[in-house]
Amino acid sequence: MKLIRTIAVAGLLLAAGFAVPRLCATEIPQAERRSGYTFMSPDTKAIQDDDTANPGMLWVLDGEALWKRKTGTADKACADCHEDARASMKGLAARYPAYDKTLGRPVNLEQRINLCRAQHQQATPLPYESRDLLALTAFVAQQSRGMPITAGADPQLEPFVAKGRDTFMRRQGQLNLGCTNCHNDNWDKHLAGSAVTQALPTGYPLYRLEWQSLGSLQRRLRNCMTGMRTQIYDYGAPELVELELYLMSRAHDMPIETPAVRP
């Protein structure tokens, strides 16, 4: 809640032209990209760096248990088909959201897991932000830790990356702000106490100290949208998946940190 208020106040300042050195959106050069991690205090970095201090690991361990648990009418566990996640899921999160042929559009990791629940386990899809879905997603994504992000490279995804980029660049909402005005133009500044950062989604799902919980990238995006007082898309909306895809393509080659920790 604190951040939302902060964004709204700072947004008003930005909109009023107090702190906007340039209005045209400039993209961040490859060599200057920095993970949100690099903006954190040494104390918060220490939490992420130590797997016995990082609360995100609680979800990863839950996810590992769920991976092996039989469920649904098919009475099958993820492990029955995908066996050892350390091998079968390695590098996978680095290329998500990925193009789904049947749907003809990109799906994110949460949606892909729910497709398997529905089609292969014949179980009901897990709700967004539920503990079980976050746990499975964190467990799958953790298998890609340290691996370079490649999402968006598939040529079939081009139009969707472009749509996500448009949402990022477009001024919107009551404050008439674009994501770019904070995350490209003012990433080296602060909004009250918070570093603005470059919005590179290297560590999702991640443990946010403010949430006191693990949360998805979509939760983070909806937070920023609340702050911008713009239309907040529903969890799973194509617009949010396209935005995720664009953000991941912007983080091309940066290592996955899941489960990361952020303030």
Catalytic residues: 224
Q: Which range touches other proteins (CB under 8 A), out of 52-60, 116-124, 140-148, 244-252? A: 52-60
Find the shortest distance in angstroms from Cβ 52 to other proteins.
4
Quick note: the x/- pattern for ligand HEC over 126-165, rule CB under 6 A, is ----------x---x-------------------------
Phi-psi region of 122 (alpha: psi -120 to 50; beta: other; left: phi over 0): left
Phi-psi region of 104 (alpha: psi -120 to 50; beta: other; left: phi over 0): left
Q: Is residue 55 within the footprint of other proteins (CB under 8 A)?
A: yes
- 107 contacts which partner out of other proteins, ligand HEC, none, CB within 5 to 8 A by kind? none
Q: Is residue 247 within the footprint of ligand HEC (CB under 6 A)?
A: yes
- B/e letters for 163-198, b = 16+ CB within 10 Å, e = fewer, are bbbebbbebbbebebbbbbbbbbbbeeebeebbbbb
Find the shortest distance in angstroms from Cβ 261 to other proteins.
11
The DSSP output letter for 188 is: T
Task: Tell me the two tokens of residue 88.
Answer: 């079968």
- 36 contacts which partner out of other proteins, ligand HEC, none, CB within 5 to 8 A by kind? ligand HEC
Residues 74-103 interacting with ligand HEC (rule: CB under 6 A): 76, 78, 80-82, 92, 98
State the chain's maximal CA–CA distance in angstroms: 59
Interface with ligand HEC (CB under 6 A): 3, 7, 10-11, 36, 76, 78, 80-82, 92, 98, 112-113, 116-117, 119-121, 136, 140, 168, 177, 179, 181-183, 191, 194, 196-197, 199, 201, 220-221, 224-225, 227-228, 243, 247, 262-263
Interface with other proteins (CB under 8 A): 47, 50-53, 55, 57-58, 61-62, 64-65, 209, 212-213
